[in-house]
Structures are given as C-alpha cells and as structure tokens.
Structure 1
Amino acid sequence: MRKWGAGEWPYTTAGLEFCQILSGYGSFVPEGGEPILPNSGDAILFYPRTAGRWIVVETLKGLSLTLPNASYL
C-alpha cells in the first residue's frame, strides 16, 4: 500500500502505471487535459510518460503498479 500526503507536486509516470484508490481525496491534472477526480474504489491507468500535477487534499491511500518497459501502448 502507498500513501500520498496532502500537497501539490508535478508528476510524470516512468512507465505504464495502474493506481487503485482506497481512501482519501485529491485530483490529477494532466498537462493539457481535464482534471481526474478519483474517489475511493476508483482505478486510474496512466500511459507511459503521462505528465501533470497531483493535488492531494486528504491523504490518498492506494495500490500502485508500474510497468517501466511498457512502451508498446
């Protein structure tokens, strides 16, 4: 399990990344895109080299899996 504390930071995925949100509240704003507002139980799939900004209001707890060599998508 991972925890992402409250705050804001830039983020770029290293590979294909899957996140399952278990609790907390925040958003991910991809560069040039619409905000993603995950809730408990939501899953997010980020393509390799997705760049944006995390804005965490209440500590997010979740599961995360990164496949660093998944550049085939």
Structure 2
Amino acid sequence: MDHVINAIMSYYEIELDELIQEWASEQYKKLSDCPSYASCKAMNNAIYELEKYYYGKRQTLTVKEVIKWRVVK
C-alpha cells in the first residue's frame, strides 16, 4: 500500500506547488477559492484514507496545514 501512497504523493506535491503559487498571489479571499484547492484536497483525502488503512493513523498534513507551514503571509 505504501507504493500507492507514494505514487499519489508525487502528483499531490505538484498540485500543492501550484496551490501555493495561487494563494501567495493574494488573488483569492479563501484558500478554497483557489483553482488547485479541490484537486489538492481530493488527493489529500485519498492519502489520508490509505494511511488510515496502512498505518492506522494520518501521517500527512492537511492542505491548510501545509499552506500555513510553507507560505508566510
């Protein structure tokens, strides 16, 4: 199962980079207004479910936690 998580994580990181750029542009009032947010959230939820099954708990930060950690406003 770990290989599935890693495969999704590769695409998730690309989408997160796009989301971070969108959010840093300050064109959007809410994070969920950014065009890349929905795909990031969907991949994060998929990773969460796989982690819950494989590890028994979440190991990946939520989308909002990642943004808070990577973007300083």
The structure whose Rg is larger is 2
TM-score, length basis structure 2: 0.23
* Structure showing greater relative contact order (alpha-carbon pairs closer than 8 Å, 6 or more residues apart): 1
TM-score, length basis structure 1: 0.23
Q: Which has the higher strand share?
A: 1
